[in-house]
């Protein structure tokens, strides 16, 4: 895109990527290695032999003259090779695009008419302009959002349509076909009217194709069958009367065609079909190129491939052809023939051109039923039964998209069916990204990884959730509801740790959601912590003020997060006296005395209003007051905590000792209770009140506040 630097617009930065895409032919010439020449020539000859009958067959499928299919194979094949990205992909007329062209045009234009032929060229031109624009604007990534199920559903239905529509040419019938069902019924009822010689030639051609494929899949079965059928018609002479033939293949070299580019009404009528042709062509091309690249390990450029397909369609339309795309079958032949580079596709196109110029009159004897036989075999191979079963057994969303696209292709206009399938793909994508998984996780048995284990016990103080998706406007409501639902199900969990290693993007709606969750947990008397925040998300949190609201200390290192929260945030009294489980590694060595409190006090307030003393005030009192006026400081933490760090004047009286009645102290002395954060001190105060102690004060903030104030502590070594 254009850039603005120091107040100056730099158009060069916007133009250079487009120029790079358009310079692809020069890269092929400069970078070609002569060591690949022999392999490319042999592969090109092989592909040309196979491509010739397919080009004729697919043009007839689109109800177009045979030379249009040949021009498409020549012009489209050369252009796509020169400007494309994949070394193994071959582009030309295909069955799916041919069927889509026929479905788009036949609705309003009589097939075979001059207007029909010109409209086919316009359709290719319009689709090519769309594809070229997407490539030059570097929007090649959009093809990733079209579900594979659309291609499978459309390809399967296209195969069924081709099978049904080629039954009549195969048997020498001519019947109306409103839809698939009526076509099958009409063909079945008209079987007694079959032209026997036409059927014999068609079925014989089909038998030859299948037999040769079984003997050696590398042999061009369709071409051999077509030549045999053509020779048979020529030898029969007048006895072949009634056998439909395609007629002479004329036209000579491809030459420019005057298309009605200013006919706005035609452009409007073809716009939906052009969009469908462009979309299905790009998706099909990308699928083929990726499949081949997985075997050759070539790095592909979707934008360059979009440019190549766009230029191929534009030139094909301008030079007497129709729409083109990457071909599954021809690309596979090219790959198996040992092609090294895109030069093999250029050689194949030149072979088709040479045969077209030399052997054009042979079409006078080429039977349509033989072409129908080749199309029926090709259509049957389009029915990928294994892939259909995999999708049906997989995710329901993909299966629905495949079925809807399949049924739409069979019973609706093909262009509408394709766009409907693509729309459903986008809907499925939005649904999946707007409802990412938000799952509660706990450590595994080795305390090395966090796993979603619904049956495992959870910590009564700390919840840990993992967000498996981005925090953007479409997903924040779902994520927030899931977290709040978990909070409602565990009201005693005052603290929440969110693992964000699957959150790659966050927007302002995500910022608001995080701030809302922070406020929710702080209102509960707890807090919220984050780990593995992506750099981009962290920058947005900084610039929007969210990080200062949350606090830098609440962004934790993943390896130390649990230990820090356990040591400095959670209340050990809950762990020792009220929690019967050991969720974290840090819990394993804690004593469990939850039997001393009946019923458990977890989640219940304990003496909400008690006097407190600030750490520095207590320190000053202990240093300056006379000994008999100093309060008794009782540290109610566990002995191991006391030994690690305590106030020098404090006595260790664990809460469990108080609960067991193990305190020998005069009730008329003032007492200051100390624990880690203040929670256990409040419980100890409740016990002392029951024992008759009236002058009880709490150290505000516990030992955390004492140490934060920089006051000295004592340490015991054992």
Dihedral sign for Cα atoms in the order 537, 540, 544, 548: positive
In sequence order, the 6+-apart residues with CB closer than 8 A to the CB of 272 are 104, 415, 416, 419
Q: Residue written as tokens 């009286």?
A: 653
Dihedral sign for Cα atoms in the order 256, 262, 268, 272: positive
What pairs with residue 326 in β-bridges? 91
Our CA dihedral for 341, 212, 376, 146, rounded to 10 degrees, sits at -30
Active-site residue list: 675
Range 654-685 burial, b when 16+ CB lie within 10 A, else e: bbbbbbeeebeeeeeeebbbbbbbbbbbbbbb
Listing DSSP states for 593-659 in one string gives: -GGGSSS--TTS---S---EE-HHHHHHHHHHS-GGGSPEEEE-S-HHHHHHSB-TT-EE--HHHHH
Read off the tokens for 200. Answer: 């014999």
Q: Which of 311, 309, 409 is nearest to 86 (CA)?
A: 309
Listing DSSP states for 345-381 in one string gives: HHHHHHHHHHHHHHSGGGGGG-BHHHHHHHHHHHHHH
Q: Which helix (H) or strand (E) holds 537?
A: helix 535-543
Chain-centre distance for alpha carbon 522 = 37
**Is residue 61 a contact partner of residue 69, using CB atoms and an 8 Å limit?**
no
What CA–CA distance (Å, rounded) separates 43 from 28? Answer: 17
Read off the tokens for 233. Answer: 């018609």
Chain-centre distance for alpha carbon 689 = 63
DSSP-derived letter for residue 141 is G
What CA–CA distance (Å, rounded) separates 519 from 549? Answer: 10
Read off the tokens for 241. Answer: 């009367």
């Amino acid at each position: 895109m254009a850039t603005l630097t120091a107040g100056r617009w730099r158009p060069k930065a916007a133009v250079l990527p487009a120029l790079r895409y358009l310079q692809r032919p020069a890269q092929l010439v400069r970078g070609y290695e002569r060591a690949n020449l022999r392999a490319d020539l042999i592969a090109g000859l092989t592909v040309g032999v196979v491509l010739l009958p397919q080009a004729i067959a697919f043009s007839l499928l689109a109800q177009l003259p045979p030379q249009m299919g040949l021009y498409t194979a020549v012009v489209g094949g050369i252009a796509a090779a020169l400007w494309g990205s994949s070394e193994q992909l071959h582009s030309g007329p295909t069955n799916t695009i041919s069927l889509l062209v026929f479905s788009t045009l036949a609705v309003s234009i009589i097939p075979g008419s001059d207007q029909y032929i010109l409209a086919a060229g316009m359709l290719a031109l319009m689709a090519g302009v769309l594809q070229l624009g997407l490539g030059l604007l570097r929007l090649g990534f959009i093809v990733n959002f079209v579900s594979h199920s659309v291609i499978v559903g459309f390809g399967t239905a296209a195969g069924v349509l081709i099978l049904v529509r080629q039954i009549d040419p195969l048997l020498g019938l001519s019947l109306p076909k409103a839809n698939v069902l009526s076509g099958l019924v009409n063909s079945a009822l008209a079987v007694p009217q079959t032209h026997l010689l036409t059927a014999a030639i068609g079925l014989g051609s089909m038998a030859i194709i299948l037999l040769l494929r079984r003997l050696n899949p590398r042999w061009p079965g369709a071409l051999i069958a077509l030549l045999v059928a053509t020779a048979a018609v020529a030898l029969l002479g007048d006895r072949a009367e009634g056998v439909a033939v395609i007629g002479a293949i004329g036209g000579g070299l491809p030459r420019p065609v005057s298309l009605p580019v200013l006919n706005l009404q035609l452009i409007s009528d073809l716009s939906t079909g052009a969009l469908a042709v462009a979309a299905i062509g790009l998706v099909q091309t990308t699928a083929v190129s990726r499949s081949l690249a997985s075997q050759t390990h070539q790095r592909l450029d979707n934008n360059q491939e979009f440019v190549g397909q766009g230029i191929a369609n534009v030139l094909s339309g301008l030079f007497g052809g129709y729409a083109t795309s990457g071909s599954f079958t021809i690309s596979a032949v090219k790959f198996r023939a040992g092609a090294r580079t895109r030069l093999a596709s250029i050689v194949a196109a030149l072979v088709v051109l040479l045969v077209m110029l030399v052997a054009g009159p042979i079409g006078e004897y080429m039977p349509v039923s033989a072409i129908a036989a080749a199309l029926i075999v090709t259509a049957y191979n389009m029915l990928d039964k294994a892939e259909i079963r995999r999708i049906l057994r997989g995710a329901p969303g993909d299966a629905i998209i495949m079925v809807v696209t399949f049924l739409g292709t069979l019973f609706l206009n093909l262009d509408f069916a394709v766009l409907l399938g693509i729309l459903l793909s986008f809907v499925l994508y939005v649904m999946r990204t707007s409802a990412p998984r938000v799952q509660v996780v706990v450590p595994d048995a080795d305390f090395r990884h966090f796993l979603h284990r619904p049956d495992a016990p959870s910590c009564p103080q700390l919840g840990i959730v993992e967000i498996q998706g981005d925090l953007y406007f479409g997903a924040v409501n779902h994520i927030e509801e899931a977290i709040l639902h978990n909070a409602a199900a565990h009201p005693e969990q005052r603290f929440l740790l969110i693992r964000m290693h699957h959150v790659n993007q966050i927007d302002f709606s995500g910022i608001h959601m995080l701030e809302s969750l922070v406020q929710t947990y702080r209102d509960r008397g707890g807090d919220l912590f984050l780990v593995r925040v992506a750099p981009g998300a962290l920058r947005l949190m900084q610039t929007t003020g969210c990080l200062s609201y949350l606090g830098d200390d609440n962004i934790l290192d993943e390896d130390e997060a649990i230990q820090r929260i356990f040591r400095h945030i959670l209340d050990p009294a809950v762990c020792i006296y009220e929690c019967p489980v050991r969720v974290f590694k840090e819990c394993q060595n804690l004593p469990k005395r939850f039997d001393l409190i009946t019923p458990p006090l977890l989640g219940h307030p304990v003496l909400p209003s008690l006097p407190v003393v600030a750490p520095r005030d207590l320190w000053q009192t202990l240093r300056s007051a006379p000994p008999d006026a100093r309060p008794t400081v009782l540290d109610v933490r566990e002995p191991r905590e006391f030994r690690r760090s305590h106030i020098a004047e404090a006595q260790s009286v664990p809460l469990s000792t108080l609960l067991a009645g193990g305190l020998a102290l005069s009730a008329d002395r003032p007492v200051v209770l100390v624990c880690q954060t203040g929670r256990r001190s409040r419980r100890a105060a409740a016990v002392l009140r029951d024992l008759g102690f009236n002058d009880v004060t709490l150290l505000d903030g516990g030992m955390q506040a004492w140490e934060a104030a920089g006051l000295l502590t004592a340490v015991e070594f054992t």
